[in-house]
Amino acid sequence: MAKRKKKSETSLEQLEDGFFANSIDMLCFLDFNGHFKRLNPAWEQTLGFTREELMSRPFIEFVHPDDCERTLKQNADVRAGGKALAFENRYLCKDGSYRWFRWNAAPDSAEKVIYSVARDITESKRAEEERERLVGELQAALAEVKALQSILPICSYCRKIRDDENYWHTVEDYLSLHTATLFSHGICPTCMESQGVSQALMNDTLPR
Query: CA 202 from chain center: how many Å?
Result: 65
Give percent of the chain with pLDDT exceeding 90. 50
The mean per-residue pLDDT over the stretch 108-113 comes to 95
Q: Do 120 and 179 sit in the same domain of this protein?
A: no
Q: Do 154 and 186 sit in the same domain of this protein?
A: yes
Q: Which range is most confident: 54-58, 142-146, 176-180?
A: 54-58
Range in 58-62, 122-126, 130-134, 164-168 the model is least confident about: 164-168
* Predicted pLDDT at 16: 81
81 is a domain residue: yes
Assign residue 92 a region (left: φ > 0; alpha: ψ between -120 and 50; beta: otherwise).
beta
Q: Do 102 and 185 sit in the same domain of this protein?
A: no
pLDDT at 8 over 70: no
* Predicted pLDDT at 194: 67
The per-residue pLDDT of the chain, averaged, comes to 84
Give the number of other CB atoms < 10 A from CB of residue 40.
Answer: 20
Q: Do 12 and 77 sit in the same domain of this protein?
A: yes
The mean per-residue pLDDT over the stretch 167-187 comes to 75
Q: How many domains does the chain have?
A: 2
Q: Do 107 and 154 sit in the same domain of this protein?
A: no
Give me the domain span that covers residue 176: 150-208
* Predicted pLDDT at 150: 66
Per-residue model confidence as pLDDT tens digits over 19-55: 888 899 999 999 999 999 999 999 999 999 999 999 9
Rounded CA Rg of the chain: 37
Residues 6+ apart with CB under 8 A from 72: 60
In DSSP terms, 45 is beta-bridged to: none
